[in-house]
Amino acid sequence: MKKCLSILALLLLMLALAACGGKNADDEIVMDEPVPPGGENAFAVELEFTADTIVPNSVTIPADTDVLFVIYNSDTQEGDLNEDHNLVGPDIGLQEILVAPGQTVRRLWHSYDQPGEYRVGCTIHPWIDMTFVIE
């Protein structure tokens, strides 16, 4: 009986730890992110997610360069379940940058080294996209 209780206690502890892990990940949203180390001298690109587009809708970015994205999500309408937006550019190695309603993120990216025009956009709302002109 004592052994059973020990196993039960261990299981409960594992469940508690798992639950805490998930909760902490959600709690880590910083609404106004600081400039990350190395971002001071990067090429700054400021973007805004609205409810239905990205402003500006096209930006020119030097190739093979450190870029600091400053992305604000102004889509804060209450009751809208799709207020999160993300910026993703699979063709140019831009991994998901997720921006919560009202949040400003500051993230570094080393830009793609092949000049050209590329579509990047929100995978949560596939109709929201923009153009990166890499030159």
What's the DSSP call for residue 54?
E
| Nearer to Cu ion among residue 120 and residue 122 (C-beta) | 122
Nearest to 100 by CA among 128, 72, 123: 72
Binding of Cu ion at residue 125 (CB under 5 A)? yes
Draw the binding track, 29-68, toward Cu ion (x: CB under 5 A; -: no contact).
----------------------------------------
Per DSSP, what are the bridge partners of residue 24? none
Binding of Cu ion at residue 108 (CB under 5 A)? no
Per DSSP, what are the bridge partners of residue 32? 104
Task: Tell me the closest approach of the beta carbon of residue 52 to Cu ion, in angstroms.
Answer: 9
What 3-state DSSP class applies to 48?
Answer: strand
Task: Tell me the closest approach of the beta carbon of residue 80 to Cu ion, in angstroms.
Answer: 11
